[in-house]
Amino acid sequence: LNILSSNPAYRDLVHQYALPVVPFLFLAVIENAKAVPFWFCPVKSRKAALAWSLLAFLALAKYPFFGSIYLQSLDTWQATREALAHITTQGGVLTTHEISPHLTHRQVIYFTDESHFKGSPPQQWDPFDYVLLNSRHPGWRSSPEFSQTLLAALQKETSFQLLYHRDGVYLFSRIRQEP
């Protein structure tokens, strides 16, 4: 399913959301090797299976990511969760690359990709019912300056209102026109 995406990030191994299945596949191979030993994986005991599991984990772990990328936005984690709780409809969302996995159940979702928008806010806000920004941590392929540009444009946009703000996390929602 990931290779069908129009976004190139979903087609490489760094950003694969299906990749967490790999450790379980390693465990299946190791357990199977107990019954049918392979020349490269001689597993005869639980200790050997544990050693191979640990070796596989150490080989696949991204140590620099844990301290830098994974913990970088911890200071806005709670505010992001609260903002996500305010998104109640299935409308389109413009948000950061890091927040988008929490909203993948909807049809329209765009990243705050500075190169896609050519460094300026969207000309048309029509596809979006929500805009969720993290100004402290603007995310992959974005910058604090672009995040501030989007915030300024949204504050001037008459079809959107600020629904939530805390710790640099902003959620704007489209103002509904009653018939």
- The domain spans of the chain are 2-61, 72-174
pLDDT surpasses 90 at 163: yes
Q: Which pLDDT score, from 0 to 100, does residue 146 have? A: 94
Q: What is the pLDDT of residues 71-98, one digit of tens each?
A: 788 899 999 999 999 998 889 999 998 8
Mean pLDDT over the full length of the chain: 83
Among 39-53, 71-85, 110-124, which range has the highest average pLDDT?
71-85
**What's the whole-number mean pLDDT along residues 117-122?**
85
3-class SS letters over the chain: CHHHCCCHHHHCCCCCCCHHHHHHHHHHHHHHHHHCCECCECCCCHHHHHHHHHHHHHHHCCHHHHHHHHHHCHHHHHHHHHHHHCCCCCCCEEECCCCHHHHCCCCCEEECCCCCCCCCCCCCCCCCCEEEEECCCCCCCCCHHHHHHHHHHHHHCCCEEEEEEECCEEEEEECCCCC
